[in-house]
Homo-oligomer: A and B are copies of this chain.
Protein backbone atom coordinates (compact mmCIF):
# COMPACT_ATOMS: atom_id res chain seq x y z
CA UNK A 1 0.00 0.00 0.00
CA UNK A 2 1.03 3.63 -0.31
CA UNK A 3 1.72 5.25 3.03
CA UNK A 4 3.24 8.42 4.42
CA UNK A 5 6.67 7.77 5.92
CA UNK A 6 8.53 10.14 8.22
CA UNK A 7 12.16 9.50 7.42
CA UNK A 8 13.67 12.28 9.47
CA UNK A 9 12.67 15.78 10.60
CA UNK A 10 11.31 17.62 7.58
CA UNK A 11 11.61 14.51 5.39
CA UNK A 12 8.11 13.18 4.65
CA UNK A 13 7.56 10.86 1.66
CA UNK A 14 4.79 8.67 0.27
CA UNK A 15 6.13 5.19 -0.35
CA UNK A 16 5.04 1.64 -1.04
CA UNK A 17 5.05 -0.45 2.17
CA UNK A 18 3.59 -3.84 3.11
CA UNK A 19 -0.21 -3.69 3.46
CA UNK A 20 -1.71 -3.15 6.90
CA UNK A 21 -2.75 -6.65 7.95
CA UNK A 22 -4.62 -8.57 10.63
CA UNK A 23 -2.09 -9.54 13.30
CA UNK A 24 -4.43 -10.45 16.15
CA UNK A 25 -7.93 -12.01 16.01
CA UNK A 26 -9.23 -8.75 17.56
CA UNK A 27 -7.83 -6.57 14.73
CA UNK A 28 -9.53 -4.98 11.77
CA UNK A 29 -8.04 -3.40 8.67
CA UNK A 30 -9.72 -0.23 7.44
CA UNK A 31 -9.45 1.17 3.93
CA UNK A 32 -8.85 4.86 4.57
CA UNK A 33 -11.42 7.16 2.95
CA UNK A 34 -9.99 10.27 4.57
CA UNK A 35 -7.04 10.91 6.85
CA UNK A 36 -5.43 14.10 8.01
CA UNK A 37 -2.41 15.80 9.49
CA UNK A 38 -2.49 16.58 13.20
CA UNK A 39 -0.74 19.38 15.05
CA UNK A 40 0.96 16.68 17.09
CA UNK A 41 2.45 15.22 13.86
CA UNK A 42 4.39 18.47 13.59
CA UNK A 43 6.43 17.69 16.71
CA UNK A 44 8.38 14.82 15.12
CA UNK A 45 8.27 16.61 11.74
CA UNK A 46 10.04 19.53 13.37
CA UNK A 47 12.51 17.24 15.11
CA UNK A 48 11.18 18.17 18.55
CA UNK A 49 10.54 14.57 19.60
CA UNK A 50 13.24 11.94 20.09
CA UNK A 51 14.52 10.65 16.73
CA UNK A 52 13.01 7.39 15.46
CA UNK A 53 13.76 5.12 12.50
CA UNK A 54 11.69 5.82 9.38
CA UNK A 55 8.05 4.96 10.18
CA UNK A 56 4.51 5.38 8.93
CA UNK A 57 2.70 8.35 10.41
CA UNK A 58 -0.89 9.54 10.84
CA UNK A 59 -3.29 8.61 13.64
CA UNK A 60 -6.55 10.11 12.36
CA UNK A 61 -8.79 8.48 9.78
CA UNK A 62 -12.21 7.26 8.79
CA UNK A 63 -12.96 4.61 6.22
CA UNK A 64 -14.45 1.29 5.27
CA UNK A 65 -13.71 -1.98 7.01
CA UNK A 66 -11.73 -4.17 4.61
CA UNK A 67 -11.10 -7.22 6.76
CA UNK A 68 -11.64 -8.32 10.35
CA UNK A 69 -9.92 -10.82 12.64
CA UNK A 70 -11.68 -14.01 13.70
CA UNK A 71 -12.75 -12.62 17.09
CA UNK A 72 -14.34 -9.40 15.81
CA UNK A 73 -18.12 -9.33 16.18
CA UNK A 74 -19.38 -5.74 16.04
CA UNK A 75 -18.16 -4.63 12.61
CA UNK A 76 -17.83 -6.39 9.30
CA UNK A 77 -16.22 -5.71 5.94
CA UNK A 78 -18.02 -2.92 4.13
CA UNK A 79 -18.98 -0.98 7.27
CA UNK A 80 -18.15 2.71 7.21
CA UNK A 81 -16.38 3.45 10.49
CA UNK A 82 -14.93 6.21 12.63
CA UNK A 83 -11.48 5.17 13.87
CA UNK A 84 -10.56 6.69 17.25
CA UNK A 85 -6.84 7.43 17.26
CA UNK A 86 -6.48 5.44 20.48
CA UNK A 87 -7.75 1.90 20.38
CA UNK A 88 -9.37 0.37 23.44
CA UNK A 89 -11.10 -2.89 24.34
CA UNK A 90 -13.96 -0.93 25.96
CA UNK A 91 -14.37 -3.67 28.58
CA UNK A 92 -11.42 -3.29 31.00
CA UNK A 93 -11.92 -1.41 34.29
CA UNK A 94 -10.31 1.76 32.88
CA UNK A 95 -12.63 1.73 29.86
CA UNK A 96 -15.63 1.03 32.05
CA UNK A 97 -14.62 4.07 34.11
CA UNK A 98 -14.69 6.15 30.93
CA UNK A 99 -10.92 6.42 30.54
CA UNK A 100 -10.54 4.47 27.29
CA UNK A 101 -7.27 6.31 26.69
CA UNK A 102 -5.92 4.40 29.69
CA UNK A 103 -7.17 1.02 28.41
CA UNK A 104 -5.26 -2.05 29.57
CA UNK A 105 -5.02 -3.00 25.87
CA UNK A 106 -4.31 0.44 24.49
CA UNK A 107 -3.28 0.73 20.84
CA UNK A 108 -2.94 3.49 18.26
CA UNK A 109 -3.58 4.12 14.60
CA UNK A 110 -0.13 4.33 13.02
CA UNK A 111 -0.88 4.63 9.30
CA UNK A 112 -3.76 7.06 9.06
CA UNK A 113 -2.07 8.95 6.20
CA UNK A 114 -2.08 5.88 3.96
CA UNK A 115 -4.35 3.60 1.99
CA UNK A 116 -5.02 1.22 4.87
CA UNK A 117 -4.80 1.29 8.64
CA UNK A 118 -4.68 -1.52 11.15
CA UNK A 119 -7.04 -1.11 14.10
CA UNK A 120 -6.41 -3.16 17.23
CA UNK A 121 -9.30 -4.04 19.58
CA UNK A 122 -11.72 -3.42 16.73
CA UNK A 123 -14.85 -4.32 18.70
CA UNK A 124 -14.06 -1.85 21.45
CA UNK A 125 -12.73 0.85 19.17
CA UNK A 126 -14.65 1.24 15.94
CA UNK A 127 -18.02 2.92 15.65
CA UNK A 128 -19.89 2.04 12.46
CA UNK A 129 -22.34 4.28 10.66
CA UNK A 130 -25.54 3.06 9.06
CA UNK A 131 -24.76 3.07 5.34
CA UNK A 132 -22.30 5.42 3.70
CA UNK A 133 -22.33 9.04 4.80
CA UNK A 134 -22.90 11.95 2.46
CA UNK A 135 -19.65 13.29 1.08
CA UNK A 136 -20.22 16.68 2.72
CA UNK A 137 -20.11 15.01 6.14
CA UNK A 138 -16.65 13.52 5.61
CA UNK A 139 -14.64 16.39 7.14
CA UNK A 140 -16.77 16.55 10.28
CA UNK A 141 -16.77 12.77 10.68
CA UNK A 142 -13.00 12.79 10.30
CA UNK A 143 -12.63 15.23 13.21
CA UNK A 144 -14.30 12.61 15.39
CA UNK A 145 -11.21 10.41 15.20
CA UNK A 146 -9.25 12.89 17.30
CA UNK A 147 -9.53 16.69 17.32
CA UNK A 148 -13.21 17.09 18.14
CA UNK A 149 -13.24 14.58 21.03
CA UNK A 150 -9.92 16.05 22.18
CA UNK A 151 -11.35 19.57 22.30
CA UNK A 152 -14.39 18.09 24.02
CA UNK A 153 -12.11 16.41 26.57
CA UNK A 154 -10.43 19.73 27.32
CA UNK A 155 -13.81 21.25 28.06
CA UNK A 156 -14.97 18.28 30.16
CA UNK A 157 -11.67 18.26 32.07
CA UNK A 158 -11.91 22.03 32.64
CA UNK A 159 -15.40 21.38 34.07
CA UNK A 160 -17.10 23.98 31.87
CA UNK A 161 -20.60 24.57 33.13
CA UNK A 162 -23.55 26.64 31.97
CA UNK A 163 -22.95 30.37 32.32
CA UNK A 164 -19.18 30.07 32.55
CA UNK A 165 -16.55 32.22 30.97
CA UNK A 166 -14.14 29.83 29.28
CA UNK A 167 -10.79 30.72 27.78
CA UNK A 168 -9.24 28.59 25.04
CA UNK A 169 -5.46 28.75 24.69
CA UNK A 170 -4.42 27.47 21.28
CA UNK A 171 -5.99 28.15 17.89
CA UNK A 172 -5.12 24.89 16.17
CA UNK A 173 -7.86 22.45 15.20
CA UNK A 174 -8.05 21.12 18.77
CA UNK A 175 -8.35 24.59 20.26
CA UNK A 176 -11.06 25.48 17.76
CA UNK A 177 -12.92 22.26 18.62
CA UNK A 178 -12.43 23.28 22.25
CA UNK A 179 -14.27 26.52 21.52
CA UNK A 180 -17.15 24.55 19.97
CA UNK A 181 -17.17 22.14 22.92
CA UNK A 182 -17.24 24.87 25.55
CA UNK A 183 -20.17 26.48 23.73
CA UNK A 184 -22.00 23.15 23.58
CA UNK A 185 -21.33 22.59 27.27
CA UNK A 186 -23.03 25.86 28.10
CA UNK A 187 -20.30 28.46 28.45
CA UNK A 188 -21.79 31.91 28.08
CA UNK A 189 -18.57 33.67 27.13
CA UNK A 190 -15.91 31.82 25.20
CA UNK A 191 -12.65 33.65 24.69
CA UNK A 192 -10.37 32.36 21.94
CA UNK A 193 -6.73 33.44 21.99
CA UNK A 194 -5.72 33.75 18.35
CA UNK A 195 -3.63 36.05 16.22
CA UNK A 196 -4.50 34.44 12.86
CA UNK A 197 -7.44 35.78 10.90
CA UNK A 198 -8.56 32.45 9.35
CA UNK A 199 -8.51 30.76 12.74
CA UNK A 200 -10.29 33.67 14.40
CA UNK A 201 -12.99 33.27 11.76
CA UNK A 202 -13.49 29.58 12.57
CA UNK A 203 -13.45 30.35 16.29
CA UNK A 204 -16.27 32.84 15.79
CA UNK A 205 -18.16 30.40 13.57
CA UNK A 206 -17.88 27.88 16.41
CA UNK A 207 -19.36 30.37 18.88
CA UNK A 208 -16.43 32.25 20.40
CA UNK A 209 -17.85 35.46 21.87
CA UNK A 210 -14.43 37.11 22.14
CA UNK A 211 -11.17 36.81 20.25
CA UNK A 212 -8.02 38.04 21.96
CA UNK A 213 -5.22 38.57 19.45
CA UNK A 214 -2.45 38.35 22.03
CA UNK A 215 -0.25 35.91 23.88
CA UNK A 216 1.32 35.55 27.30
CA UNK A 217 0.94 38.37 29.82
CA UNK A 218 -0.90 40.54 27.35
CA UNK A 219 -3.51 37.82 26.81
CA UNK A 220 -3.82 37.26 30.56
CA UNK A 221 -4.40 40.98 31.09
CA UNK A 222 -7.11 40.97 28.42
CA UNK A 223 -8.85 38.01 30.07
CA UNK A 224 -8.70 39.73 33.46
CA UNK A 225 -10.26 42.82 31.96
CA UNK A 226 -13.02 40.76 30.32
CA UNK A 227 -13.80 39.06 33.64
CA UNK A 228 -13.85 42.09 35.92
CA UNK A 229 -10.43 41.17 37.28
CA UNK A 230 -11.52 37.71 38.42
CA UNK A 231 -10.09 35.40 35.77
CA UNK A 232 -11.87 32.69 33.80
CA UNK A 233 -14.14 30.02 35.27
CA UNK A 234 -12.55 27.39 33.04
CA UNK A 235 -9.49 27.29 30.81
CA UNK A 236 -8.75 24.91 27.94
CA UNK A 237 -5.04 24.43 27.24
CA UNK A 238 -4.70 23.07 23.70
CA UNK A 239 -1.03 23.57 22.83
CA UNK A 240 1.35 21.75 25.16
CA UNK A 241 4.20 24.22 25.68
CA UNK A 242 5.38 25.85 28.90
CA UNK A 243 4.28 29.22 27.55
CA UNK A 244 0.75 28.07 26.78
CA UNK A 245 0.44 26.33 30.15
CA UNK A 246 1.65 29.46 31.95
CA UNK A 247 -0.92 31.54 30.10
CA UNK A 248 -3.66 29.02 30.88
CA UNK A 249 -2.87 28.91 34.59
CA UNK A 250 -2.65 32.69 34.82
CA UNK A 251 -6.02 33.13 33.08
CA UNK A 252 -7.79 30.89 35.62
CA UNK A 253 -9.68 32.35 38.53
CA UNK A 254 -9.17 30.82 41.99
CA UNK A 255 -10.91 27.46 42.12
CA UNK A 256 -10.95 27.05 38.33
CA UNK A 257 -9.61 24.07 36.42
CA UNK A 258 -7.24 24.13 33.47
CA UNK A 259 -8.25 21.28 31.15
CA UNK A 260 -5.12 20.41 29.22
CA UNK A 261 -4.98 18.29 26.08
CA UNK A 262 -1.95 19.66 24.25
CA UNK A 263 0.67 16.90 24.40
CA UNK A 264 3.11 18.45 26.91
CA UNK A 265 6.61 19.05 25.66
CA UNK A 266 8.93 19.82 28.56
CA UNK A 267 6.19 21.40 30.68
CA UNK A 268 7.20 21.57 34.35
CA UNK A 269 4.67 23.04 36.74
CA UNK A 270 5.39 24.58 40.12
CA UNK A 271 2.79 23.01 42.41
CA UNK A 272 2.96 26.06 44.68
CA UNK A 273 1.60 28.19 41.89
CA UNK A 274 -1.49 26.00 41.59
CA UNK A 275 -1.76 25.76 45.38
CA UNK A 276 -1.78 29.48 46.06
CA UNK A 277 -4.84 30.03 43.89
CA UNK A 278 -6.52 26.63 44.10
CA UNK A 279 -6.16 26.23 40.34
CA UNK A 280 -6.59 22.61 39.29
CA UNK A 281 -5.09 20.80 36.34
CA UNK A 282 -6.90 17.97 34.61
CA UNK A 283 -6.56 16.34 31.25
CA UNK A 284 -4.53 14.09 29.07
CA UNK A 285 -5.14 11.93 26.05
CA UNK A 286 -8.82 12.04 25.18
CA UNK A 287 -10.93 8.91 25.71
CA UNK A 288 -12.30 9.31 22.18
CA UNK A 289 -14.47 6.21 22.32
CA UNK A 290 -16.30 7.51 25.39
CA UNK A 291 -17.43 10.69 23.67
CA UNK A 292 -17.91 9.31 20.18
CA UNK A 293 -21.58 8.21 20.25
CA UNK A 294 -22.74 11.60 21.53
CA UNK A 295 -20.57 13.62 19.15
CA UNK A 296 -21.44 11.42 16.19
CA UNK A 297 -25.13 12.09 16.79
CA UNK A 298 -24.46 15.83 16.83
CA UNK A 299 -22.64 15.61 13.51
CA UNK A 300 -25.22 13.36 11.84
CA UNK A 301 -28.05 15.59 13.09
CA UNK A 302 -26.29 18.58 11.57
CA UNK A 303 -26.07 20.32 14.92
CA UNK A 304 -22.32 20.75 14.72
CA UNK A 305 -19.95 21.07 11.80
CA UNK A 306 -16.45 20.66 13.27
CA UNK A 307 -15.17 19.85 9.77
CA UNK A 308 -14.73 23.61 9.30
CA UNK A 309 -11.28 23.16 10.84
CA UNK A 310 -10.15 21.73 7.49
CA UNK A 311 -9.16 24.51 5.14
CA UNK A 312 -7.18 22.38 2.74
CA UNK A 313 -7.61 19.01 1.03
CA UNK A 314 -4.81 17.21 -0.76
CA UNK A 315 -4.09 13.90 -2.39
CA UNK A 316 -1.96 11.46 -0.46
CA UNK A 317 0.76 11.96 -3.06
CA UNK A 318 1.04 15.60 -1.96
CA UNK A 319 1.20 14.95 1.77
CA UNK A 320 4.65 16.58 2.10
CA UNK A 321 3.15 19.86 0.92
CA UNK A 322 0.40 19.40 3.52
CA UNK A 323 3.02 19.17 6.27
CA UNK A 324 4.75 22.27 4.98
CA UNK A 325 1.48 24.20 4.88
CA UNK A 326 0.64 23.30 8.47
CA UNK A 327 4.20 23.85 9.67
CA UNK A 328 4.17 27.35 8.18
CA UNK A 329 0.65 27.97 9.51
CA UNK A 330 -0.64 28.48 5.97
CA UNK A 331 -3.25 25.82 6.74
CA UNK A 332 -5.21 25.16 9.92
CA UNK A 333 -5.67 21.47 9.20
CA UNK A 334 -5.09 19.42 6.07
CA UNK A 335 -7.38 16.61 4.95
CA UNK A 336 -5.60 13.83 3.06
CA UNK A 337 -7.34 11.71 0.41
CA UNK A 338 -5.62 8.39 -0.38
Which residues in A have some Cβ–Cβ distance to B below 8 Å? 93-94, 97-99, 101-102, 157, 228, 230, 245, 253-255, 257, 260, 263-265, 267-272, 274-285, 287
Contact = CB atoms under 8 A, between A and B. Distances in A.
Given A271-B267, A271-B269, A272-B267, A278 B245 contact: no
Contacts of A265: 272
Contacts of A285: 275-276, 278
Contacts of A269: 268-269, 271
B271 A102 contact: no
Nearest to A286: B278
B254 A271 contact: no
Contacts of A263: 272, 275
Contact of A281 (B254, B255, B274): B274
A276 B245 CA distance: 16
Nearest to A97: B255
Nearest to A273: B264
Nearest to A263: B275
A97 B252 CA distance: 13
Nearest to A94: B254
Nearest to A230: B93
B255 A102 contact: yes
Contacts of A274: 281, 283-284
B271 A275 contact: no
A48 to B, nearest CB: 13
A260 B284 contact: no
Most chain B CB atoms below 10 A, which of A94, A253, A280: A280
Contact of A254 (B99, B245, B254): B99
A232 to B, nearest CB: 12
Given A99-B255, A281-B281, A282-B282, A270 B271 contact: no
Given A94-B230, A230-B93, A263-B275, A282 B268 contact: no
A41 B188 CA distance: 43
Contact of A253 (B94, B257, B267, B268): B94
Contacts of A260: 271, 275
Contact of A282 (B101, B228, B253, B281): B281
